[in-house]
């Protein structure tokens, strides 16, 4: 019997994860599923938990490097419409975990909800951003959370109130298996002002970061208030290359993969940059990217 018996319409064995990551690299998931309802999601989680198989979530895969050998167990992808809904209330947005962050940001700006305009241009989903407490310009997504609905590894759905959660730099205590949806609360501002601010930040990002079509990964956390990209640049490492993977000339905290690259080369470049930064500046860079 296969672990995905009865789920063949939404689950597959030995699915390459490369197409689900921004780097477009990496090996297969032993099992991969895109459930279409919450019931299917829960049933899959319970089945794999009972068999004590690892279960992981993938959002847009913009903060994950998958190793060449792939991963054991189940990888879940929340691509179905039910996980990507977004609704607007008085000063509030409720968003599915699979909703694109860009949709969340543009909706907030249109409604005159202040804060999310700072996140313009960060690739990913709302669930991935909450899990990593993604942010920019001193604003993190955790700042606005009111509550979140999560699914645990035992298949239980829980509501976590904003007061019970803690967010720090690129870290969140929202670490249950699945962030199903979250509600955010905002201060009001003029939509025109927020639109102008978002456009300004978008132009800056477009001129300092690779295009969305490029296979890229944002690698390290900032260190003691200093941007990781600036630290790497100070060591003269822009353009450093291992095989077909290169430190971006635009932002040194981004690595770019060209055709023929492997995730092993990404991992080697991470180690090489860490070593060189430590030798030159005695700074130990910590990875922001998740290595699977």
Q: Please state, in angstroms and rounded to a whole number, the distance separating the CA atoms of residues 6 and 18.
A: 26
Which residue's CB is nearer to ligand FAD, number 122 or number 231?
A: 122
Q: What is the footprint of ligand FAD within residues 164-223 (CB under 6 A)? A: 178-179, 209-210, 216-218
Q: Please state, in angstroms and rounded to a whole number, the distance separating the CA atoms of residues 199 and 197.
A: 5
Q: Please state, in angstroms and rounded to a whole number, the distance separating the CA atoms of residues 62 and 78.
A: 15
Q: Please state, in angstroms and rounded to a whole number, the distance separating the CA atoms of residues 139 and 120.
A: 11
Tell me: does residue 4 bind ligand FAD (CB under 6 A): no
Tell me: does residue 79 bind ligand FAD (CB under 6 A): no
Query: Least separation, in Å, of the C-beta of 180 and ligand FAD?
Result: 7
Q: Is 191 exposed, middle or buried (0-12, 13-18, 19+ CB in 10 A)?
A: middle
* Dihedral sign from CA coordinates of 97, 184, 94, 200: negative
Which string of b and e fits 214-251 if b means at least 16 CB within 10 Å? bbbbbbbbbbeeeebbebbbebebeebebebbbbbeeb
Structure tokens at 215: 């296979």
Backbone angles phi, psi at 40, to 5 degrees: -65, -45
Which residue's CB is nearer to ligand FAD, number 131 or number 274?
A: 131
Q: Which stretch binds ligand FAD (CB under 6 A): 34-42, 53-61, 238-246, 260-268?
A: 53-61
Query: Where in the sequence numbering do the catalytic residues fall?
Result: 170
Q: Which stretch binds ligand FAD (CB under 6 A): 6-14, 54-62, 159-167, 228-236?
A: 54-62
Q: What is the footprint of ligand FAD within residues 137-166 (CB under 6 A)? A: none
Query: Least separation, in Å, of the C-beta of 289 and ligand FAD?
Result: 8
Among 42, 99, 118, 125, binds ligand FAD (CB under 6 A): 125
Which residue's CB is nearer to ligand FAD, number 188 or number 291?
A: 291
Query: Least separation, in Å, of the C-beta of 90 and ligand FAD?
Result: 25
Which residue's CB is nearer to ligand FAD, number 60 or number 183?
A: 60
- Interface residues toward ligand FAD, by CB under 6 A: 22, 56-64, 78, 97, 122-125, 127-129, 131-132, 134-136, 178-179, 209-210, 216-218, 254, 290
């Amino acid at each position: 019997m296969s672990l995905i018996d009865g789920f063949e319409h939404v689950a597959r064995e030995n699915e390459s994860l490369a197409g689900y990551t921004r780097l477009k690299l990496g090996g297969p998931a032993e099992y991969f599923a895109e459930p279409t309802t919450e019931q299917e999601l829960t049933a899959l989680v319970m089945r794999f938990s009972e068999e004590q198989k690892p279960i992981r979530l993938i959002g847009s895969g913009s903060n994950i490097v998958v190793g060449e050998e792939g991963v054991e167990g189940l990888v879940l992808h929340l691509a179905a419409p039910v996980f990507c809904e977004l609704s607007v209330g008085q000063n509030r947005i409720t968003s599915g975990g699979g909703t694109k962050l860009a949709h969340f940001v543009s909706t907030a700006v249109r409604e005159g909800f202040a804060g999310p305009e700072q996140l313009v241009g960060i690739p990913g989903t709302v669930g991935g951003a909450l899990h990593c407490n993604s942010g920019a310009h001193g604003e993190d997504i955790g700042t606005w959370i009111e509550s979140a609905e999560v699914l645990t590894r035992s298949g239980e759905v829980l509501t976590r109130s904003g007061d019970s959660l803690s967010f720090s730099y690129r870290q969140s205590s929202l670490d249950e298996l699945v962030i199903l949806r979250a509600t955010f609360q905002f201060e009001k501002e003029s939509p025109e002002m927020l639109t102008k601010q978002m456009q300004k930040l978008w132009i800056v990002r477009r001129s300092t970061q690779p295009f969305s079509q490029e296979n890229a990964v944002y690698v390290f956390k900032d260190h003691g208030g200093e941007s990781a990209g600036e630290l790497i640049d100070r060591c003269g490492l822009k353009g450093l290359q291992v095989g077909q993977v290169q430190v971006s000339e635009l932002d040194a905290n981004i690595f770019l993969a060209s055709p023929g690259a492997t995730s092993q080369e990404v991992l080697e470049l991470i180690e090489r940059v860490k070593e060189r930064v430590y030798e030159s500046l005695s700074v130990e860079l910590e990875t922001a990217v998740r290595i699977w």
